[in-house]
Structure 1
Amino acid sequence: MKDQTKEEILMFLNNWGEGVTLAKTLEIQFTDIDLENETLTATMPVQPKVHQPFGILHGGASCVLAETLGSSLSNFFIDGEKYYGVGTNINSNHLRSKKDGIVTATARFIRKGKSMHVSEMEIRDEKGVLINHTTMTNTIIRK
């Protein structure tokens, strides 16, 4: 897959999985992948279906966005014929509230080992203000 164009890779990621997935339900859209720097970016609209009762972005929705990116990052940068990466730990800090608009998240590796990946995801609003910072561990398992 790394031989495909950026557009082809993003199309694959945006259509990954059969049927309706949680990422599709929350309208998470992969928007950029940087193969050289090994980063992945996606957006998610902030609307009532991702609100908590106070009318602001639910922390769980932020975690879903972060975990979707972190898991996809790991699984893209391993040999998918032999391995798959599964989330084993997530730590999410909700730093600011958000009522509406779009959030953009970028994932990057902190450590990319053979059996474990640790990544960080930053979720920002339209002005670039940090809304959430998440770290995630994926264990790389042989199929």
Structure 2
Amino acid sequence: MTTTERDSIITPIQPRARQTYDALVNATRELVRERRGAWPATSDVAERAGVSIGSLYRYFTDIRHLMATVHSDDQVFRAHRELLRAAGAAARRRPKPGARQQAEAALEALILVLSEDPDPELAAAVCE
């Protein structure tokens, strides 16, 4: 069982339930990318996934729960989170003047490079 399955209201076990769950996560991911990071409405997610809004709420408590699931599954978000944690830890260990600003500048430069990637899906994910 994955983290997102454990955190869902019910665990999708049957193949059809798994398809519905995956369709909701994938629809959310698509909508977020299309909207350059803006959170979609749950009704838009359900419509894109081809399921009822009730099906969405069977697996997720609200849009925050669904977005947390999408982010926890996304490699770009995981890498970004780990990079932020590492930069923060480094800044706290070495309280030199300007360390935080240097870490922030490095992250901004990384995001800029990644957002200019010719892969539109990667670029959209980074901009989120």
Normalised by the length of structure 1, the TM-score is: 0.25
**Higher helix fraction (1 or 2):** 2
Of structures 1 and 2, the larger Rg is shown by 2
**Higher strand fraction (1 or 2):** 1
Normalised by the length of structure 2, the TM-score is: 0.28
The structure showing larger relative contact order (alpha-carbon pairs under 8 Å, at least 6 residues apart) is: 2
